[in-house]
Amino acid sequence: MKIIMLGAPGAGKGTQAEMISEKYGLPHVSTGDIFRANIKNGTELGKEAKKYMDAGQLVPDELTVKILLDRVAQDDCKNGYVLDGFPRTIPQAEVLDKALTELGDKVDYAINVDVPDENIINRMSGRRACVTCGATYHVVYAPTKVEGICDKCGSELILRDDDKPETVKNRLEVYHKQTQPLIEYYDKKGVLKEVDGTVDMNEVFNSIVSILA
């Protein structure tokens, strides 16, 4: 079962991807996590990706496609996976489809978590990330036990540059221009499913489970 999570940045698709991963035993493949690991380790890819991410822009296809395809070719993905953060553009979707077709495979579901822009701006400005392990929290929805301190490793939490309101607005503009067309793309392929992302995350997940059942 190969699932693609769609939705604007901050719609909660990452959280849903983790829950799907846990319930169905599928790897959660997040390009954001891959990029952040590269940034933390100071790789050349990470340095280049950071320039785009800090500006609220999408990382170019050529930096994204190869690392993603290498990841899903690993053994733990042989029974399926949940893609979070990829594809972000029609050309990326076409590259992915071509690669899967060559393997005799295809995307089974593209699940769009639908949330209005104003909700997203409020959500993302409350997000906090650990500078050491990358764990994410929210000051309202998922607070830490000790304010400003990571529950997992005890390091300091920060408001990432790409979660600041002005950057979020820019990211949403980019999303509507470049990524939202994927909704129509996967609808035409007959694999698109939509869920209301404004309700409680467990309600969102129940909606997704009913789709995958």
pLDDT tens per residue across span 94-115: 988 988 898 888 999 999 999 9
Residue of 160, 164, 169, 193 marked catalytic: 160
Annotated active-site residue 123? The verdict is: no
* 72, burial (CB in 10 Å: exposed 0-12, middle 13-18, buried 19+): buried
Residue 12: DSSP 8-state: S
Residue of 2, 50, 71, 88 marked catalytic: 88
Residue of 2, 13, 36, 123 marked catalytic: 13
Annotated active-site residue 71? The verdict is: no
pLDDT, tens digit (0-9, with 9 covering 90-100), for 176-188: 998 899 999 999 9
**Which domains, ranges and CATH numbers included, belong to the chain?**
2-116+165-212 (3.40.50.300), 126-163 (no CATH)
Residue 16: DSSP 8-state: H
pLDDT band at residue 199, thresholds of 50, 70 and 90? Answer: very high
- Residues paired with residue 2 on neighbouring β-strands, in sequence order: 81
Answer for the pair 120, 172: CB distance below 8 angstroms, yes or no.
yes
Annotated active-site residue 128? The verdict is: no
The reported pTM is 0.76
Annotated active-site residue 88? The verdict is: yes
Q: 94: which residues sit within 8 A by CB, 6+ positions away? A: none
Answer for the pair 192, 5: CB distance below 8 angstroms, yes or no.
no
Residue 74: DSSP 8-state: S
Residue of 71, 123, 127, 128 marked catalytic: 127
Task: Count CA atoms closer than 13 A to 111's CA, side-chain side.
Answer: 30
